[in-house]
Structure 1
């Protein structure tokens, strides 16, 4: 089972946002980290939905059959867990997530507090600051290395 944590950072003044993603194996080792800049997304809520969708697409692209998506946006996680169609103003993203999850053998969505999701948050914030996305296999960006080391010391779930 692969855990993929996702988070978003938002700059409303410049109408920019960034998505941060980190995937770990069952032992807690980083498999990959990636991030991306987005423009013209109008709210933090929508960016969190985009981050969830991108995390799911990452898992599918890596051909992982069973994933757990973890994020600190409780409302987005709840919408992803629901079976019925979403009718909120982020419905396009949520409905896309529902369609994409069918490509996997197993896929679950879990809410985690920010303290557990801090690595993905740091990656998103750093991406927004640098205005440049990343894609790293087996490691995290330099700005997130201390957090990754701290998380490695803890027992995996």
Structure 2
């Protein structure tokens, strides 16, 4: 007896079987999380690689951008972190980080640079010919190093895959 209703054994068995069938269907529809871990790959010998990312806080309308530039020997040539105010979306946060990576390339006058991110939307938008309307502010770079909190990741990335 459940919720003041009596059921026969046959009805309970039918309910349990349909519930198990439903659970099996949910299990099949559950997306599988890829266990593949993509490791950072160093740039060709005369190139440098700039990896950037943006983080967004919608409550405060702020974002943070971070950029790390490394050479083919995996040495950190430059790192940069910046807090941006009055940012309206996660896309804008990534766009500001991308803009910063491009500005670093111009400021440092590197001849060959690979700019890498994990945002397909940013990559597509960067290919557009429209004028950028974001604000440009003075920044500080760390030449040849990363912030103390990023040292462990720098050393982890230094370990290369066997050739």
User: In the TM superposition, what is the alpha-carbon distance from 1:138 to its structure 2 partner?
Assistant: 0.9
Equivalent residue, structure 2, for 1:73: 119
- Structure having the larger proportion of residues in strand: 1
The structure with higher relative contact order (CA 8 Å, sep 6+) is 1
Give how far 1:92 is off: 2.9
1:3 aligns with 2:9: no
- How far residue 78 of structure 1 moved from its aligned partner, in angstroms, is 2.4
Q: Which runs of 5+ in 1 are unaligned?
A: 95-132
**Contact 1:27 / 1:156 at 8 angstroms: preserved in 2?**
no
TM-score (norm 2): 0.63
Q: Does 1:25 align with 2:71?
A: yes
5+ long unaligned stretches in structure 2: 1-46
CA RMSD across the alignment: 2.4
How far apart, in 1, do the equivalents of 2:149 and 2:121 lie?
A: 28
Aligned to 2:104: 58
- 1:92 paired with 2:98, answer no
What secondary structure does 1:18 align onto? strand
Report the count of equivalent residues: 113
Which SS does the other structure have where 1:14 is aligned?
Answer: coil
Structure 2 SS opposite 1:139: coil
Rg larger in structure: 2
2:146 paired with 1:140 = yes
Q: After superposition, what is the alpha-carbon deviation per residue over 1:34-91, rounded to whole angstroms, capped at 9, x for unaligned?
A: 11110011001011111111101001101111111001111111232x3x535xxxx6
Q: Distance in 2 between matches of 1:68 and 1:146?
A: 23
Q: 1:135 to 1:5 in 2, by over 3 A?
A: same
